[in-house]
Structure 1
Amino acid sequence: MKLAYSTNGFTQRPLIQAIEEIAQLGYPAVEILADAPHAFPPSKDAPWVPDVIKVLDRLGMEVSNINGNTAIGFFREHTGQISFEPSLCNASQEVRARRLAYTKGCIDFAHTIGASNISITSGMCLPGNPPPSAWGHFLAALTEIMDYAEKKSINVGIECEPGLLVENGDELLEIIRAVGSTRLGANLDLGHAEVGREDIDALLRKLGPRIWNIHLEDIRDRKHYHLIPGEGTMNFAEIMDTLQDIGYERFITIELYTYAHNDVNAAKRSFAYLQPMLKEVMQSEIF
């Protein structure tokens, strides 16, 4: 296991500078936001892609994930509000097609820079699109996405979140099984699981082999607001123990978009809090 930090916590800086800052703080990996103001629209041919590859190579940084969860880049005015539209479960075929093209762009971008996985969300059930119909739209979209991802050898992780169509681990596992692709799995945000009152230990054990990336932040009183690790009530030591026990070897990506106004400090404090804990649990396995 290794720590990574998402550039969605550094959105007041250009992408290249965000990667450099994260590397200087000691992180061996970075998650790249495939949304404004960073890698949007995601593309293998965008003029900034060679610069991303160069800075990753120069710094020896790995990429934990290409974060294709949000879509504020589709809108001319950025209000600071997270947007999941256009989504893959939208009732409009035209709207879904826009998100499908975007998601395929994420897959192409991941393939070009050497990332092994991207993350997506289901979107929300908007008025006139109740869960049964939204589920059908999402399932059809995923089938097309996974056909494309398999050809590029890229894993796709769905991130469940309270309030979305796919909002918990059981629904996530259901859609993974329904699609049937071995490259479809979870971008598992454990803070979301805490908000949704899920049993995190059981969730990790249930999804284990299909977890492509972990999102981590602290949560207090089950309110969905991403806090710096140590400021909430998440039991990180227990989480690390379970991850080690199930043989998880991928990345733990800290996601603190709520601290873009104080990015370096948040990333520094997160590393100082979690890295010793991670090191201790990994060393205990050796002995």
Structure 2
Amino acid sequence: MTRIGLSTSSVYPESTAHAFGYAVEVGYDAVEVMVGIDQISRQIPAVKQLSEHHRMPVSAIHSPCLLFTQRVWGTDPWVKLERSAEMAHAVGAEVVVVHPPFRWQKEYAAVFVEGIAKLEADTGIAFAVENMYPWRASAKRGMQMYLPHWDPSKEDYANTTIDLSHAAIAHDDVRAMADRLGPRLRHVHLTDGTGSAKDEHLVPGRGTMGADLFLRHIAAAGFTGEIVLEINTRKASPGASRAAELAEALAFARTHFVA
């Protein structure tokens, strides 16, 4: 059965530990750990202890490949992915989410597709490459900032991730992208966006991406991977206010992920 998980980034600026607590309180099936500036998120024993204490499985590890996590676990991108796989094995996750290289990471980008395939063969972990977007200063002008491309359907990855907020910035049709990916779609970051140049990560249903139609579309196609709510709740107060937004997102997913 497809699990509905919560990304630890969804409770920022609260901690990874808080995310596990919210996941239990609201009723999520699993947690995706975003390895980042929170020290706990970088420590395998701590993440494992949180999972066991809360009896909450870890569905995926998001490698530290964001712009602001470029120095987390060093600066070598392959080392970051190897350590992400190590954490995934330790906590029982089958997926590592990774972004395509930035355009200035030319050596990394030159062998990225082949390197991801080798990592999957060596580790047994699915490295689900996520769709990104052009960096846009306005609604009409953008710059290619990811190599080999922001759209993973253009490359021969065995496993991929669709993020609806990223697709909103790129003005991509997520249902068409899912069709292009077919069984290679392994992971979903369920969120929303309005098509602005900002990575909004709205609660699904609050944007214009047709998140409800997308969920029904992939359910009808037989999607069996992980669905993870990766939303921005920074304007919510810690506690009941944030929990209400997380509950709204979870209810949306469970309502619309039906064939």
Distance 1:221 1:51, change over 3 A: closer
Are 1:100 and 1:145, in contact at CA under 8 Å, matched by a contact in 2?
no
8 Å CA contact 1:160–1:168 kept in 2: the answer is yes
**What residue number does 1:78 align with?**
none
The question of whether the paired residues in 2 share the 8 Å contact of 1:116 and 1:154 is answered with yes
Q: Does 2:154 align with 1:174?
A: yes
Alpha-carbon distance in structure 1 between the residues aligned to 2:246 and 2:41: 26
User: Which of the numbers 89, 92, 95 marks the counterpart of 1:114?
Assistant: 92
Query: Alpha carbons of 1:281 and 1:104: their partners in 2 closer, same or farther (altered >3 Å)?
Result: closer
Q: Which SS does the other structure have where 1:213 is aligned?
A: strand
Does 1:209 pair with 2:183?
A: yes
CA 1:276–1:197 in 2, change beyond 3 Å: closer, same or farther?
closer
Q: 2:204 aligns with which of 222, 225, 229?
A: 229
Percentage identity across aligned positions?
A: 19
The C-alpha deviation readout for 1:171-212, integer Å capped at 9, x for no partner, is: x133325xxxxxx42121122122212222111111131122
Q: 1:24: Cα distance to partner?
A: 1.1
Match of 1:147 in 2: 118
Aligned to 1:64: 59
Which of 207, 210, 226 aligns to 1:251? It is: 226
- The structural deviation recorded for 1:25 is 1.3
Q: 3-state DSSP class of the match of 1:156? A: strand
What secondary structure does 2:155 align onto?
helix
2:170 to 172, 185, 196: 196
**Structure 1 residues 16 and 266, CA gap change in structure 2 (3 angstroms):** closer
Bigger fraction of residues in helix: 1
Within 2, Cα distance between the matches of 1:268 and 1:258?
10
Contact 1:3 1:254 in 2 (8 A): yes
Contact kept in structure 1, 2:100 and 2:150, CA below 8 Å:
no
Structure 1 runs (4+) greater than 6 angstroms displaced: none
Which of structures 1 and 2 has the bigger CA Rg?
1
**One-letter identity of the residue aligned with 2:251:** Q
Q: Counterparts of 1:59 and 1:66 in 2: how far apart (Å)?
A: 17
SS of 1:228's equivalent in the other structure is coil
Residues 119 and 189 from structure 1, CA distance in 2 versus in 1: closer, same or farther, beyond 3 angstroms? Answer: same
Residue number among 120, 131, 135 corresponding to 1:160 in the alignment:
131
Instruction: Note the aligned Cα RMSD (angstroms).
Output: 2.9
Task: Give unpaired runs (5+ residues) of structure 1.
Answer: 72-81, 88-93, 178-183
**Residue 254 of structure 2 is aligned to residue 278 of structure 1:** yes
TM-score (normalizing by structure 1): 0.73
Question: What count of residue pairs does the alignment treat as equivalent?
Answer: 244
Classify 1:3/1:22 alpha carbon distance in 2 versus 1 (closer, same or farther; 3 Å): same
| Structure 2 segments unaligned to the other structure (5+ residues) | 135-144
